[in-house]
Amino acid sequence: QGVFCPKPETPMHASGRMVRDWPDGRGTYFNPNCSFMVWLNVDDHAKIICAAKGSNMRDVFEHYIDAVQALEAAVNKAGYNFMFSDDLGYITTSPSNLGTGMKCSVFIQLPAMCDHDQLPALLEQLQLKSRPVAEHARANLSAWTPQTREVYNEGKLGVSENDLVQRVCRAADTLVACEKALAA
């Protein structure tokens, strides 16, 4: 439950005709515990999602890299390649995904921080964005509350996948420390 791809509703998707004939030609593949998923033809041709409960980002990241390499090898074996530019990185349907094309996110409960007026400035300083957890993702969170936030990297261009993950991990540590200080 909660792993099926939601229909994109943005003007970009509509103007690019990316939602025509929805849901024909789309699909979701996932393993039994939903820690690995591939959405096909939703935002891009393929969106790889690796997830785990807890704080071991290293294992999740290694799983993600293995999955990307396996998918790329299968695409290459079929005689195709992902579109890639030395200047822009992976070419995707959305310019916001140029570069690594990778979004690294964590779900954090921030009851005190959500009410604090300095949260947006802190996130900007950390080069991150935050939003409420999407409804389709809530089913996979055991302790979801309205103060649970998805915190994720803002940019993907000019930075490596490893740097993105490290940035998000350091920022999560900072946010948790701030949350504890505000709650004390």
| Per-residue pLDDT at 164 exceeds 80 | yes
Tell me whether residue 106 is annotated as binding: yes
Digit-coded pLDDT (tens) for 81-122: 988 899 888 888 778 888 888 889 888 888 888 887 888 899
What's the pTM? 0.77
Regarding predicted confidence, which is higher, 139 or 99? 99
Find the distance separating the first CA and the last CA of the chain, reported in whole Å. 37
Rounded distance between C-alpha atoms, residue 149 and residue 141, angstroms: 11
| Per-residue pLDDT at 134 exceeds 90 | no
Domain range summary for the chain, segments of one domain joined by + = 11-183
Q: Which of 35-39, 43-47, 95-99 has the lowest mean pLDDT?
A: 43-47
Kindly state the average pLDDT of the residues 22-43.
79
| Per-residue pLDDT at 142 exceeds 60 | no
Tell me whether residue 135 is annotated as binding: yes
Tell me whether residue 105 is annotated as binding: yes
Tell me whether residue 136 is annotated as binding: yes
Residue 49, pLDDT score: 85
Chain-centre distance for alpha carbon 103: 4
Residue 170, pLDDT score: 92
Across the beta sheet with 105-109, the strand order is 105-109, 148-153, 128-132
Domain 11-183 sits in CATH at 3.30.590.10
Digit-coded pLDDT (tens) for 49-86: 888 888 888 999 999 999 889 989 999 999 999 888 99
| Per-residue pLDDT at 135 exceeds 60 | no
Residue 16, pLDDT score: 66
| Per-residue pLDDT at 128 exceeds 80 | yes
Tell me whether residue 134 is annotated as binding: yes
| Per-residue pLDDT at 24 exceeds 60 | yes
